[in-house]
Amino acid sequence: MKEVSSVGRHEDSDIFLDDVSVSRHHGLFTRTASGRITVRDLNSLNGTYVNGARVEESVLRNGDEIQIGKFKLVFWSAS
């Protein structure tokens, strides 16, 4: 994973989710200096959810479920 990966409906997104429930520039996944991964919402229309709670930004832990539009992603890190 890059230090920062974009997620959205725009075809230039690092993680491209092709559905109208996803904003063009929906959010960012970021690796912090300590190696943690965060997800940050970019003021999307439908929001970003971690384990069912709407978040602006959240540190991710193994098994966390991230919902972006109609898509559900599960976070797993080897480290």
Burial tier of 73 (Cβ tally within 10 Å: 0-12, 13-18, 19+):
middle
- The pLDDT of residue 78 is above 90: no
CA distance 57 to 63: 17
Structure tokens at 76: 């797993």
pTM above 0.85, yes or no: yes
What pLDDT is stored for residue 17 in this prediction? 98
- The pLDDT of residue 1 is above 80: no
Q: What is the CATH number of domain 4-74?
A: 2.60.200.20
| CB-CB neighbours of 39 under 10 Å | 24
- The pLDDT of residue 21 is above 80: yes
What pLDDT is stored for residue 23 in this prediction? 99
Q: Lay out the sheet containing 65-68: strands in order across.
A: 53-55, 48-50, 65-68, 71-74
- The pLDDT of residue 45 is above 70: yes
Mean of the pLDDT values across residues 14-42? 97
Domain range annotation of the chain: 4-74
